[in-house]
């Protein structure tokens, strides 16, 4: 199947299922594709469970979730996997970024742990990047994958009370404020997820 036919297959689908139970993420994606007359429904609304993320790469986990949702729902499914990679820690935290926060999702503790490991490494390199991979899967088997990133540096102590996760310690390249010090529209313009979304819309809706 050529790229033009493949992209048409996705954009002509009236419904996309987002393989997530995160209401904020569902709204964000729904707003993104609304101009293209596509309806987005979350996994919870469709009665779908999220499978365990057992892959070792962002693309692997995103495809795992999208394939499961497409198979059960019979609709086009979109899933993402994202995380923080720290250069001095050999690319950790990677796909395990959320797990560093523990079962209580204590990201203050997670940020403290990252800082302690950076100090223990003895490296002066504080560069890091946020990564987001979006996987779009058609129930007939067609698949598209898009990766977005934003590079920057980690700071300490945490700054700002907006955003979530590791936002209070991440400063994007060329910026002086952390993601947690930016409002949502400012962060969205720079974020790894926005970068991946732009690539998706350019590929699927501009071809």
d(C-alpha 11, C-alpha 54), whole Å:
29
Q: How far is CA 118 from CA 57, 74, 93, 115, 126, in A?
A: 23, 45, 12, 5, 8
The burial class, CB within 10 Å (0-12 / 13-18 / 19+), for 199 is: middle
Of the two residues 31 and 103, the one the predictor is more confident about is 103
Percent of the chain whose predicted confidence (pLDDT) is above 70: 96
Q: What is the pLDDT of residue 6?
A: 66
Residue 8 has pLDDT above 80, yes or no: no
d(C-alpha 82, C-alpha 107), whole Å:
15
Residue 80 has pLDDT above 80, yes or no: yes
Of the two residues 193 and 61, the one the predictor is more confident about is 61
Residue 1 has pLDDT above 70, yes or no: no
Q: What is the pLDDT of residue 39?
A: 85
Residue 183 has pLDDT above 80, yes or no: yes
Residue 3 has pLDDT above 90, yes or no: no
Instruction: Look over the chain and give the mean of its residue pLDDT values, rounded to a whole number.
Output: 90
Q: Which domains does the chain have, with CATH numbers?
A: 3-205 (3.90.950.10)
Pairing of strands 15-18, 76-86: parallel
d(C-alpha 63, C-alpha 61), whole Å:
5
Residue 180 has pLDDT above 70, yes or no: yes
To the query of whether residue 81 is one of the catalytic residues in this protein, the response is yes
- Tell me: the pLDDT tens digits for 21-69? 877 677 777 777 778 888 888 888 888 888 888 899 999 999 999 999 9
- Tell me: the pLDDT tens digits for 87-98? 999 999 999 998
Q: What is the pLDDT of residue 171?
A: 98
Six-digit token pair at 34? 């609304």
Residue 188 has pLDDT above 90, yes or no: no
Q: Which H helix or E strand runs over 96?
A: none
Catalytic one among 31, 80, 81, 195?
A: 81
Q: What is the pLDDT of residue 176?
A: 97
Residue 151 has pLDDT above 80, yes or no: yes
The Cβ-side half-sphere exposure at 52, using a 13 Å CA radius, reads: 1
Q: State the pLDDT confidence band at 207, using cuts at 50, 70 and 90.
A: low
Task: Determine the average pLDDT of the residues in 80-104.
Answer: 94
Q: What is the pLDDT of residue 143?
A: 93
């Amino acid at each position: 199947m050529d790229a033009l036919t493949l992209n048409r297959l996705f954009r002509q689908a009236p419904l996309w299922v987002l393989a997530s139970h995160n209401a904020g993420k569902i709204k964000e994606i729904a707003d993104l594709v609304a101009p293209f007359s596509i309806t987005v429904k979350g996994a919870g609304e469709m009665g779908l469970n999220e499978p365990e993320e057992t892959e070792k790469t962002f693309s692997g986990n995103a495809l795992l979730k999208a394939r499961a949702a497409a198979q059960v729902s019979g609709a086009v499914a979109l899933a993402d996997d994202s995380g923080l990679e720290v250069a001095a820690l050999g690319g950790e935290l990677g796909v395990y970024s959320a797990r560093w926060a523990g079962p209580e999702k204590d990201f203050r503790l997670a940020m403290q742990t990252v800082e302690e490991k950076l100090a223990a490494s003895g490296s002066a390199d504080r560069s890091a990047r946020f990564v987001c991979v979006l996987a779009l899967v058609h129930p007939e088997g067609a698949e598209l994958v898009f990766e977005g990133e934003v590079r920057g540096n980690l700071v300490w102590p945490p700054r700002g009370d907006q955003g979530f996760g590791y936002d209070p310690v991440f400063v994007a390249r060329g910026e002086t404020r952390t993601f947690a010090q930016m409002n949502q529209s400012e962060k969205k313009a720079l974020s790894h997820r926005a970068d991946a979304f732009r690539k998706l819309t350019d590929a699927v809706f501009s071809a």
